[in-house]
With several copies, the nearest count.
Chain A
Amino acid sequence: MDLDDTPEQAAYRADVRTWLEAHSSEAPVLQGPGAIEDEDEIIAARRVWQGKLAEGGLAGVVWPKEYGGQSRGPIEQVICNQEIARAKVPSILDAIGVGMLGPTIIAHGDEDQKGRYLGPMLHGDEVWCQLFSEPAAGSDLAAVQTRARLQEDGSWRLTGQKVWTTNAQFASYGLLLARTDADVPKHKGMTMFIVPMDAPGVTVRGLRQISGEAEFNEVFFDDLVVDAGAVVGGVGNGWGTALTTLMYERVTIGLGGEGLGYNSTRFAGAIAQDAHARRDPEIRHQLGEISSDLLAVKFTGYRTLTALQKGQIPGPEAGLAKVTIVNGAIKAGDLIADVQGPDALAQDSEWAYMISFLPGLKSAGGTEEILRNTIGERVLGLPPEPRLDKGIPFSELRSKEGAAA
């Protein structure tokens, strides 16, 4: 048991650091003096920078070499992330594509798809977005209603609405879960598609959150036509393909606790600034509890990494880390604002932004309740809730719900 690099890892770290030292002057400046301010320019600059990282081998570290990656392990991925953070340069723009959607295409896509899409994705030339959640299918992802209908010429016609879509406003492609057969039970009638985001019939609208900023988008599909080659993983296999994406999402969360900036060092720093509060037993008690929990998540991340390195796949319990992080950060926000008073809620306060952002994050990607169900059932082996929707064709289900409402 130790936290230090093996000689091989140390060598890899040195390589990454050397590359970053040589190239960090080429990275776009996003904060402080000389920072780019225009949103479009930021995106453009980050695309270019991702391309450079990819050329240097610092993007897609765990991707197979044949698709432009390094065929390395998750620890090297983390080492790479750590060094990028240490060098104070931006990380890759399309973390969702490279971290979750690319691996899904590698696992389920056909050779044409891999050849066409993976390279531009890795280099930031084409950014991707994940089109799974819908207004009526948030926690219950298998309830998607976006409809894909097979046309006589073998193409598909897509109509529906997606929500909580990050990066949709500048994405070139999206991975979209649609219902292709409403007459079978809901998990069985879905198919995964690759959709172009700039085609007619696709409308992206920013979805403003509590803070007022549009951290997510709604995406509307109105008779978008895609050809048969857009299907990933086979017609009717959408649920299985989606599960792969979700597994990679958990890996990302499991390793990314610290990345969100919700850590004990930052929160304790805010309390330490107040001479009165830092000696108040009540404040210290809360700070101590919150910090202990967040520190735990950091080391849970290392445990996850150890498991990944050994080829084990993280189970749904990795999601518990998200519960700890989000609830810990919520408590920290309340604590810090209690100490600082209403000024912590000022428009330009980092704490006001965090306090506004967290309630949405708590619900994003399935509510805490659904997560606890899943873990209770899959990890602890507890019996499932009675499911009223099991084995019932999707089309009947919708009308049943309507009647019950």
Chain B
Amino acid sequence: MNLALSDEQVFLREAARGALSRFKTLEAAREALDGNESALPDMWPAACEAGWPGLLIDEAHGGAGLDAFDAMLVLGECGRVLAGISLLGHLPASAILNDSSNAASLLEPLASGERRAAYLPVSPPTDVDERWSVDPRHGAARPAAPTASASGEGASATVSGELAFVPDAPGADLLVGVAILDGKPVGVAIEADAQGVSVEATTRYDSTRSLGHVSLKDAPATVLDASTDSLAAAWHLAQSLIAAESLGSVETALEVSVEYAKERHTFGRAIGSYQAVKHSLTEVLRQLENGRSLLYYAGWARHGSPAEFPLAAGAARSVAGRALDHAARTMISVHGGIGATWEHDAPLYFRRAQLSRRLLGGTAAATDRVAGQLIAQADAA
């Protein structure tokens, strides 16, 4: 048993921190909120230089052949500085393709980052909803997954459906997700510039997060031969990645808040000496540590115990999502009034928390899946 980072993983993390530190991500986020979206740096070249696009692609296809936990380490660093890098969309897409034996030609340009993919998030069934479903554009009810029709020859099909708030869809070259073909889920890869594909770029509240509403109308697709388990695992991988990213943001929120609590005085004492502040920050630490432990679980389970991966990834997201909500609000409140002003960094982390909790099914769906998985385990026992 060994739940610690390897030397290579420590190096990967430090390198990521270094690479990201070259960008003024927080300043850019604030400027973009003020309408100057061109202030947001294009970080994809840096990602390519670091080899992140190919993290989860086999070496045979030009990737690094690493695993989910390594990707989580990079996402954590992105979360620390709110880097708007397109890995949350790209990596789960690359994982589906990597699990497909008929996608070899697609993989190499994705591994190098020459082309960028976006994952079309489709949530696998639960114990109470047997459908594959997508995030709704409006309201709380989840629509069904896109549908595919075989279009004659070989592995090609046409796909129709709507996917709302797809992370990193704008500007992606390839869209990879799940569609229902003859009542069964299949992996599909769709060129973003193909006929019948439209991507409406949008942002919501957090300027660092690029989102797109993807509309597919008989869009030509390659049907992938990835297993159903692999298609489901992509969803759980996305949950793990957003969990890791969120915990990175929690780290920064905690560090900045602790520093301020040491320096700021009121009634003649540093505010960090008051139990209300101290216990609130300790609570952030508690949730952060719990989240970190679950990242290890998810990282191990993806290949070490695939049957547990939905549980592990759901639990990681559930804890991390709540941790970020609490940390972002604590960051504001520890800073007193100034923490709620435009020029402060705390609102940027708050905006991240507010949006993240409602993407990719939301923190709530991840929490529900934990319950569902455990209930299914109990039934099986």
Interface residues of chain A, those whose CB is within 8 Å of chain B, are 1-5, 9, 75, 78, 133, 135-136, 138-140, 143, 163-164, 207-210, 212, 264-265, 268-269, 271-272, 274-285, 287-289, 291-293, 295-300, 302-303, 305-307, 309-310, 317, 320, 323-324, 334, 337-343, 345-346, 352, 355-356, 359-360, 362-364, 367-369, 372-373, 375-377, 379-389, 392, 397, 400-401, 404-405
How far, in Å, is B160 (CB) from chain A's closest CB? 22
* B15 lies within 8 A of chain A by Cβ: no
Q: Which of B315-332 contact A (CB under 8 A)?
A: 315-316, 318-319, 322, 325, 329, 332
Beta-carbon contact of B300 and A269 below 8 Å: no
Contact partner of B262 (CB less than 8 A), chosen from A278, A362, A383, is A383
Q: Would A338 and B272 be within 8 Å (CB), given that A1-B296, A320-B285 are in contact?
A: no
Residues of chain A within 8 A (CB-CB) of B340 are 209-210, 359-360, 362-363
How far, in Å, is A349 (CB) from chain B's closest CB? 9
Q: Would A274 and B211 be within 8 Å (CB), given that A268-B374, A306-B2 are in contact?
A: no
Can you list 10 pairs linking A and B with CB atoms under 8 Å apart?
A1-B2, A1-B299, A163-B337, A287-B374, A341-B140, A341-B362, A369-B274, A375-B285, A385-B275, A405-B270
Residues of chain A within 8 A (CB-CB) of B368 are 281, 284-285, 288
Q: Which of B339-381 contact A (CB under 8 A)?
A: 339-343, 347, 350-351, 354-355, 357-359, 362, 364, 366-372, 374-375, 377-379, 381
Contact partner of B135 (CB less than 8 A), chosen from A274, A292, A341, is A341
Q: Considering only CB atoms, which chain A residue lies closest to B337 in the complex?
A: A363
A348→B336 CA distance, assembly (Å): 27
Residues of chain B within 8 A (CB-CB) of A140 are 266-267
Q: Would A382 and B272 be within 8 Å (CB), given that A75-B1, A306-B2 are in contact?
A: yes
Beta-carbon contact of A345 and B294 below 8 Å: no
* B297 lies within 8 A of chain A by Cβ: yes
* B281 lies within 8 A of chain A by Cβ: yes
Beta-carbon contact of B204 and A346 below 8 Å: yes
Beta-carbon contact of A369 and B374 below 8 Å: no
How far, in Å, is B57 (CB) from chain A's closest CB? 20
Beta-carbon contact of B372 and A362 below 8 Å: no
* B205 lies within 8 A of chain A by Cβ: yes
Q: Would A383 and B269 be within 8 Å (CB), given that A135-B338, A338-B362 are in contact?
A: yes
Beta-carbon contact of A392 and B371 below 8 Å: no
Q: Would A9 and B1 be within 8 Å (CB), given that A285-B371, A291-B371, A364-B337 are in contact?
A: yes
Residues of chain B within 8 A (CB-CB) of A338 are 140, 357-358, 362, 364
Q: Considering only CB atoms, which chain B residue lies closest to A299 in the complex?
A: B293
Beta-carbon contact of B141 and A276 below 8 Å: yes
Q: Considering only CB atoms, which chain A residue lies closest to B270 in the complex?
A: A383
A239→B277 CA distance, assembly (Å): 26
Q: Considering only CB atoms, which chain A residue lies closest to B139 in the complex?
A: A274
A353→B343 CA distance, assembly (Å): 17
Beta-carbon contact of A288 and B369 below 8 Å: yes
* B310 lies within 8 A of chain A by Cβ: no
Residues of chain A within 8 A (CB-CB) of B291 are 296
A298→B315 CA distance, assembly (Å): 12
Beta-carbon contact of A306 and B1 below 8 Å: yes
Residues of chain B within 8 A (CB-CB) of A377 are 278
Residues of chain B within 8 A (CB-CB) of A303 are 3-4, 292-293, 296
* B128 lies within 8 A of chain A by Cβ: yes
A306→B2 CA distance, assembly (Å): 5
A380→B355 CA distance, assembly (Å): 28
Contact partner of A3 (CB less than 8 A), chosen from B1, B278, B285, is B1
| Given A287-B375, A292-B314, A352-B205, 7 further pairs, Cβ under 8 A | A274-B139, A292-B290, A296-B297, A302-B293, A359-B347, A380-B258, A389-B268
How far, in Å, is B379 (CB) from chain A's closest CB? 6
* B286 lies within 8 A of chain A by Cβ: yes
Beta-carbon contact of A342 and B355 below 8 Å: yes
Beta-carbon contact of A300 and B378 below 8 Å: no
A299→B304 CA distance, assembly (Å): 14
A338→B364 CA distance, assembly (Å): 8
How far, in Å, is A294 (CB) from chain B's closest CB? 9
Beta-carbon contact of A343 and B138 below 8 Å: yes
* B33 lies within 8 A of chain A by Cβ: yes
Beta-carbon contact of B375 and A268 below 8 Å: yes
Beta-carbon contact of A139 and B367 below 8 Å: no
Residues of chain B within 8 A (CB-CB) of A3 are 1, 3, 300, 304
Instruction: Identify the interface centre among B281, B340, B379: most chain A CB within 10 Å of its CB.
Output: B340
* B265 lies within 8 A of chain A by Cβ: yes
Residues of chain B within 8 A (CB-CB) of A405 are 262-263, 265, 270
Q: Would A372 and B278 be within 8 Å (CB), given that A1-B6, A345-B354 are in contact?
A: yes
Residues of chain A within 8 A (CB-CB) of B130 are none
Beta-carbon contact of B343 and A208 below 8 Å: yes
Contact partner of B381 (CB less than 8 A), chosen from A133, A269, A297, A368, is A269
Q: Would A210 and B204 be within 8 Å (CB), given that A300-B289, A341-B135, A383-B269 are in contact?
A: no
How far, in Å, is B237 (CB) from chain A's closest CB? 17
Q: Would A389 and B293 be within 8 Å (CB), given that A364-B337, A376-B272 are in contact?
A: no
Q: Which of B245-285 contact A (CB under 8 A)?
A: 254, 258, 261-263, 265-270, 272-279, 281-283, 285
Contact partner of B33 (CB less than 8 A), chosen from A164, A212, A382, is A212
How far, in Å, is B277 (CB) from chain A's closest CB? 7
Residues of chain A within 8 A (CB-CB) of B269 are 383, 386, 388
A296→B164 CA distance, assembly (Å): 31
Beta-carbon contact of B1 and A5 below 8 Å: yes
Residues of chain A within 8 A (CB-CB) of B2 are 1-2, 306, 309
Beta-carbon contact of B362 and A285 below 8 Å: no
Mark contacts of B130-148 with chain A using CB atoms, 8 A cut-off: 1 yes-contact digit, 0 otherwise.
Answer: 0000011111110000000
Q: Would A288 and B370 be within 8 Å (CB), given that A3-B3, A140-B267, A375-B282 are in contact?
A: yes
